[in-house]
Amino acid sequence: MTDRVALITGGAKGIGKAVALDLAAQGWSVAVCYRTSEREAEETRDAIERQGVRGLAVRADVSDPQAAEALIRRVEGEWGRIDALINGAGPYHRIGLLDETAEEWRSMFANNLDPVFYLARAVAPGMKARRWGRIVSFAMANADQHVAQPFVTAHYIAKAGVLILTRSLAKLLAPHGITVNTVSPGFIASGSAPESELASMVKNIPAGYIGSVQDAVSAVRFLLSEEARYVTGANLHLSGGWGI
């Protein structure tokens, strides 16, 4: 068992939920943040608690800087600390670039990039005081390639921004025993994309198959571990060779 505490945004379902349950199995206390998936978040919290550890489900719109700050303070107030921040929230939509509305364009940055900054800024002081911390964010497998993405342009730019923000935070926080890394999935069967879409992409994946949520769990588990204490500013491709 451990006294570690994790906060996972987007933790109600998919990869975030799988990571939450894996950490609970290791003895972590786990708080999951959600915006609209209340039923799923409560089910995830209950599943965490059934493993004999503390669980918490908190509704928060982390695109709002004040709400993001309040979320951090809520978890710290409940459990006294946050050892790992996992930025798993990251909605996207497919639309032609020139058909994108200004509101939709801004929402991709507000929901994919801005919360990583807001939450990291709020959680860093406590981690620095304890001289230990882990921040893991999710990008996308080819966000470092700067290739054309005419149907997910804003999402793609936001995820490229996450990579830059990750490296900047990593450099600033390394002297304080805090690592900051990114996991960049390709096609993962997490429930966020139609199975038909995933099946059609297999031919483009060098490994020849779609990844599972367990692949993502294993990547996060490593980055949170002591074995990864010297790994910071890294971008871990989780794609079976797609997008590299």
Q: Structure tokens of 214?
A: 């367990």
Contact in structure between 32 and 59 (CB atoms under 8 Å): no
**What residues are labeled active site?**
156
CA distances from 16 to 29, 85, 113, 231, 242 (A): 14, 12, 17, 21, 22
On the 0-12 / 13-18 / 19+ scale of CB atoms within 10 A, 57 is buried
Q: From the centroid of its chain, how far is CA 58? A: 16
